[in-house]
Amino acid sequence: MLANKKEFTKGAVLMVVFLIVLTLIFMPIFGEGKNGLNYLDDLYNSISKGSAYYIPALKTKNAKMTGKNIMVSFSMKNEKQAAETAALLKQSSGTTVEVTGAEIKVSGDLNAMILNCLEDSDMMFKNQGDKLRTKYGIDERQSLYNWWEAWKSMSKNLDKQKKFAETAFIAGINKRAVECAYNYYGVQPQNIADKWTLVTLSLMFYVVYTVWYGFAFLFMFEGWGLRLEH
């Protein structure tokens, strides 16, 4: 038995409208066959990419690493990845690379290695994966993943040598260049100023839609006679 039929009906109508809108959100009607969630996800990814281009600044900082020669030994996951990673390092001028199974021994100017990595990351960030694929003859994502694994493994050896400044810089390269380029590959960057109306409306919709859902339950519970009391 309903305590307040009018309140319950109000809540039920709000809930029905909420579910109708929710159904529309999950329908592929938002451009290029996307549903609402995918459309907004792509929108915010493209906007965030526009403000996540750190590679030029990293190249400037990398210039300070000139003359920092290193000699490290590290392991990759398997022989195939070790061979692929060696090909990356050999592209760096003045670098000597030896491969024994999954083990890599490299010596040379750290600046040159990082510069080559930044150039590869730049190609990926600009969605020029075909150039990277041509450069190394393997999938462009695999090349960047190999860079990420190599720096991570290399850092452990540099830490043992107490070259903490080099390790800290490499960590920044991995996070702000390699990871960014890998994660944003294929996303077209946009400036938020070009989409401010859509961004504002989507945020307003999120707030209103959430509150709408809450009031639907509130009125339905009140219609049932359920109340919170101290």
Strand, helix or coil at 69? strand
End-to-end CA distance of the chain: 24
User: Would 229 be classed as within a structural domain?
Assistant: no
Residues 103 and 176 occupy one common structural domain: yes
**Number of domains, the chain:** 2
Residues 199 and 87 occupy one common structural domain: no
Strand, helix or coil at 102? coil
Evaluate if residue 230 carries a pLDDT over 60. no
Residues 138 and 125 occupy one common structural domain: yes
User: Would 158 be classed as within a structural domain?
Assistant: yes
Give the pLDDT of residue 222.
86
Residues 120 and 177 occupy one common structural domain: yes
φ, ψ dihedrals at 116, nearest 5°: -65, -40
| Segment 147-173, tens digit of pLDDT | 999 999 999 999 999 999 999 999 999
Cβ–Cβ < 8 Å for 181, 122: yes
* CA distances (Å), origin 157, targets 71, 104, 150, 176, 201: 9, 12, 11, 21, 50
Name the residue with tokens 């070259």.
163
The Cα 74–Cα 157 span in angstroms is 7
Domain that holds residue 195: 5-49+189-224
φ, ψ dihedrals at 43, nearest 5°: -60, -50
| Segment 16-51, tens digit of pLDDT | 999 999 999 999 988 788 899 999 888 888 888 988
Predicted TM-score (pTM) of the model is 0.79
The percent helix, strand, coil of the chain (3-state, each to 5) is 70, 10, 25
The Cα 16–Cα 18 span in angstroms is 5
Residues 107 and 42 occupy one common structural domain: no
